Chain A
Amino acid sequence: MTITTAERTRAVAPVTAAKQRRKGGWIPTLGLLAGAVYTLFPVLWVLIASTKSIDQLFSTFTLLPGSGLFTNLHQLSAYRGGEFWQWMLNSALYAGVGGALSALLSGVTGYALAKYRFAGRAAIFNILLAGVLMPPVVLAVPQYLLFAKAGLADSYWSVLLPSVISPYGIYLARIYAAGAIPDDVLEAGRMDGTSEWRLFRSVALPMMAPGLITVFLFQFVAIWNNFLLPFVMLGDDHKFPVTVGLYTLLLQGANAPALYTLVITGALLSVLPLIALFLSLQRFWRLDLLSGAVKS
Chain B
Amino acid sequence: MAARRVRSAPYLFIAPAVTAFTLLLAVPIGYALYLSLREMRITGLGLGPGARAERWAGLANYSAALRDHELLAGAGRVLVYGGLLVPVMLGLALVFGLLLDADRTRLRAFSRIAIFLPYAVPGVVATLLWGFLYLPTTSPGYYVLHQLGMSGPQLLQGNGMYVALANIAIWGGTGFNMIVIYTSLRSIPAELYEAARLDGASEFQIALRIKIPMVLPSLVLTFFFSLIATLQVFAEPMNLKPLTNGISSTWSPLMKVYRDAFTRGDIYSASATSVVIAFVTLAVSFGFLKLAGRRAYGEDNS
Contact = CB atoms under 8 A, between A and B. Distances in A.
Interface in B134-182: 138-140, 143, 171, 174-175, 179-182
A288 B184 contact: yes
Contacts of A200: 13
A256 interface: no
A78 interface: no
Given A135-B254, A271-B125, 20 more contacts: A10-B103, A17-B194, A25-B102, A28-B100, A29-B104, A29-B106, A32-B96, A35-B92, A42-B171, A105-B17, A105-B20, A116-B9, A133-B228, A138-B271, A139-B29, A146-B27, A162-B24, A165-B21, A196-B12, A294-B220
B28 A143 contact: yes
A275 interface: yes
Contact of B267 (A21, A45, A141): A141
A114 to B, nearest CB: 10
Contacts of A227: 122-124, 235
22 contacts: A3-B186, A7-B186, A18-B103, A22-B103, A25-B105, A28-B105, A35-B96, A43-B117, A61-B140, A108-B17, A112-B9, A116-B6, A118-B11, A133-B282, A134-B25, A142-B31, A142-B271, A143-B28, A267-B128, A270-B125, A278-B116, A287-B183
Interface of B: 2, 5-7, 9-14, 16-18, 20-21, 24-25, 27-29, 31-32, 35, 92, 95-96, 99-100, 102-108, 110-111, 113-126, 128-130, 132-133, 138-140, 143, 171, 174-175, 179-184, 186-187, 190, 194, 197, 203, 215, 217-218, 220-221, 224, 228, 232, 234-235, 254, 257-258, 261, 267, 270-271, 273-274, 277-278, 281-282, 285, 292-293, 296-297, 301
Given A2-B187, A108-B16, A274-B120, A45 B133 contact: yes
Interface in A220-261: 221, 224-225, 227, 243, 246-247, 250
Contacts of A109: 13-14, 16-17
A35 B180 CA distance: 17
Interface of A: 2-3, 6-7, 9-10, 13-14, 17-18, 21-25, 28-29, 31-33, 35-36, 38-40, 42-43, 45-46, 49, 58, 61-63, 105-106, 108-109, 111-113, 116, 118, 121, 124, 127-128, 130-135, 137-139, 141-143, 145-146, 161-162, 164-165, 170, 190, 193, 195-197, 200, 221, 224-225, 227, 243, 246-247, 250, 263-264, 267, 270-271, 274-275, 277-279, 282, 285, 287-288, 290-295
